[in-house]
Amino acid sequence: MRLFRFFEGLVDPYVDYPETDAPPRRLLPFMLDYSRPFRGVFALAGILSVVVAGVELLLIWAMGWVVDILAGSPAEVWATHGWALIALGVFILVLRPALQALDVLLLNNTILPNYGTLYRWRAHRHVLRQSVGWFEDDFAGRIANRIMQTPPAAGEAVFQIFDALTYSLAYVIGSFFLLGIAEPWMMAPLAVWFGLWMALMRWTVARVKPASQAASDARSFVTGRVVDSYTNIHSVKMFAHHDREVEYGREAIEHARQTFANEMRIYTIMDVALTVLNGILIVGVVGLALWFWGVGAATVGTVAASTALALRLNAMTGWIMWAMTSFFQQLGIVAEGMETIAQPIRLTDASDARELVLDEGRIEIDRVSHHYGKGQGGLDAVSLTIQPGEKVGLVGRSGAGKSTLVKLLLRFYDVEDGKIRLDGQDIREVTQESLRRRIGMVQQDSALMHRSVRDNILYGRPEAGEDAMIAAAKQAQAHEFIADLQDAKGNRGYDAQVGERGVKLSGGQRQRIALARVILKDAPILLLDEATSALDSEVEAAIQDTLYGMMEGKTVIAIAHRLSTIAHMDRILVMDQGRIVEEGSHAALLVQGGLYASFWARQSGGFLTMDDSEAAE
């Protein structure tokens, strides 16, 4: 076990590395960049691969030598060659296994476990740095699939280099050398075979790489569709669309089947052609050796060694060809994975970005425009100043720009024009981490992590103690129902698992845990995006005091369709078509008789009537 641990620890897959916002986009530079910690190990593995191939050729030569010395009597053979035969036996029993063991230890225990781990670790780190918008443009399932399938593909490609490609190249070169020693003309059939074999390999590789990449992309597409169905299983069941989802998945699965079938056709052609070529090799090498033996230019041992060499190459070539095609197949998977894991980070910190220093909590929005690159929707030249400690309500139809304003404030996107400042600091000039640490947010759909209740609440401030966590849960009116929770594995209370996105809890329970998380975070700026929309009236009334307590001493922006929840704000802003069209207190806006007053007049039970014809944000 100590030997295994030694080789497993030769390379640290988590070693520090210069993180870049723009990884290489071409395959070879990308893999070379990831392979830097393995350079020494790769060099040693390459040398050992050549040595192991040389040892195998030496054994074939030795067997021919043994055949030749057997022409004498046993006594003469042992008298003349006894020590050489013993040395050969010791070499086969001791040195050959030792070299082979060292070779496979480097491949199986140093390279394979650590190389894939390094890929997965760095790819995961890189993807987590991508912006929210980047994730919104892709399937989570496809992203995860590429993160999972690229590392083993990269590891397999490297493995094939040292296990097959380096070994086979050294073996073929050594075969030329051995045949040339016996009789230079015997290299001719090997040269013809090698030329034809290389032509076949070139034909195969040229077709396997794109076919493999297409098949890999198709598999990722299947994963994306399947995960999408599973993630939204409530909608699938609620709308009775079982058959529709089955067909939706079948289309992707059938496409994957067809791409895989196209790939397999190439392998079939390769197999048949390889069998024909190997027949040429055996007949050519063995036939020529027999001819030279017949004219007295070669010994019986030469014929035996040549025959063994031809049969060995015959057995190897299928494996080598499969190794080669597997190598390029894996490179195709890596190339497909690079479409995700090598994408540059678009939303980055400035090179001289500093930590946000927030003493007051003043928010300044200066002529900000943002249309998601589409020229419409979003915000249009919005200017707004929110004083430290001021509580501002934000209302408007769907698509008016409310959520866009919040996303820009969190710097989930960069503004297309204008500036946003917190206490006079442009948010593009501070680090994203420091910005978001100082903003607490409760969303309308507060999805939870697939972890315990404790983990989810402590996500707001991981260093907080148990007492602070429980106090936050009590303040959010969540402690009582948490105490009664129990998951399928018997975990109870704060140790109970909440399921993917908190699916094991009701909407109100999820929202209260989300509130507890933000209470524990205790950030000086608070954003509430329909924070009580998932709560029933009784629970909402019970935690209204909690919400007002959370707001105390903080700068607050609250988006609400239930107008009664923001009626007591210091100021209410009404947005329409990306602009602020009205502002003032609840009473003042009612007196104006404008858009807010019409919302208030039309609302039922405190809800704003939504105009669904507006473009979604």
Gyration radius from the chain CA atoms: 35
Range list for CATH 1.20.1560.10 in the chain: 2-341
Nearest to 223 by CA among 107, 144, 113, 170: 144
Confidence of residue 612 (pLDDT cuts 50, 70, 90): very low
Here the tokens at position 412 are 């989930």
Q: Which contacts (CB < 8 Å, 24+ apart) does range 593-599 have?
A: 596/395, 596/572, 599/395, 599/563, 599/574
DSSP classification of residue 10: S
Confidence of residue 391 (pLDDT cuts 50, 70, 90): very high
pTM of the model: 0.75
- How far apart are the two ends of the chain, measured CA to CA in Å? 58
> DSSP readout, 422-449?
ETTEEGGGB-HHHHHHTEEEE-SS-PPP
> Using CA atoms, how far apart are residues 122 and 154, in angstroms rounded to an integer?
13
Q: Are the beta carbons of 229 and 244 closer than 8 angstroms? A: no
Confidence of residue 72 (pLDDT cuts 50, 70, 90): low
pLDDT of residue 400: 86
> Using CA atoms, how far apart are residues 266 and 533, in angstroms rounded to an integer?
57
Beta pairing partners, 417 = 369
Measured from the Cβ of residue 67, the count of other Cβ atoms closer than 10 Å reads: 17
**159 has a pLDDT exceeding 80:** yes
Beta pairing partners, 527 = 441, 557
> Using CA atoms, how far apart are residues 215 and 265, in angstroms rounded to an integer?
13
Q: Are the beta carbons of 507 and 532 closer than 8 angstroms? A: no
Q: What is the SS3 assignment for 572?
A: strand
Range list for CATH 3.40.50.300 in the chain: 445-522
Beta pairing partners, 426 = 421
Summarize pLDDT for 85-94 with one digit per residue, the tens. 888 888 888 8
Question: What is the four-CA torsion angle of 599, 601, 607, 613, rounded to 10 degrees?
Answer: -40
> Using CA atoms, how far apart are residues 251 and 225, in angstroms rounded to an integer?
10
For the chain, what percent of residues have pLDDT higher than 70? 94
Here the tokens at position 222 are 């299947």
Summarize pLDDT for 446-490 with one digit per residue, the tens. 778 888 999 999 999 999 989 999 999 998 888 989 998 888 888
> Using CA atoms, how far apart are residues 526 and 559, in angstroms rounded to an integer?
11
Here the tokens at position 438 are 């100082």
Architecture (CATH level 2) of domain 2-341: Up-down Bundle (1.20)
Pick the CATH number of 445-522 from 3.40.605.10, 3.40.50.300, 3.30.1310.10, 3.40.630.30: 3.40.50.300
**616 has a pLDDT exceeding 50:** no
**613 has a pLDDT exceeding 50:** no
Q: Are the beta carbons of 182 and 298 closer than 8 angstroms? A: yes
**424 has a pLDDT exceeding 90:** yes
- Per-residue pLDDT, averaged over 294-317, amounts to 76
Nearest to 322 by CA among 170, 193, 168: 168
pLDDT of residue 353: 92
> Using CA atoms, how far apart are residues 527 and 443, in angstroms rounded to an integer?
8
For the chain, what percent of residues have pLDDT higher than 90? 28
Cα maximum dimension of the chain: 123
- Per-residue pLDDT, averaged over 192-202, amounts to 83
> Using CA atoms, how far apart are residues 349 and 196, in angstroms rounded to an integer?
55
Q: Is 462 exposed, middle or buried (0-12, 13-18, 19+ CB in 10 A)?
A: exposed
Give the CA distances from residue 490 to residues 301, 494, 495, in Å, rounded to whole numbers and listed in that order: 73, 12, 9
> Using CA atoms, how far apart are residues 580 and 593, in angstroms rounded to an integer?
16
Summarize pLDDT for 529-581 with one digit per residue, the tens. 877 665 666 666 666 767 777 788 899 999 887 787 788 889 999 999 889 99
Average pLDDT over all residues of the chain: 84
**204 has a pLDDT exceeding 70:** yes
Q: Are the beta carbons of 424 and 513 closer than 8 angstroms? A: no
Task: For tokens 């048949």, name the residue.
Answer: 272
Confidence of residue 429 (pLDDT cuts 50, 70, 90): very high
Summarize pLDDT for 255-283 with one digit per residue, the tens. 999 998 988 888 888 888 888 888 887 88
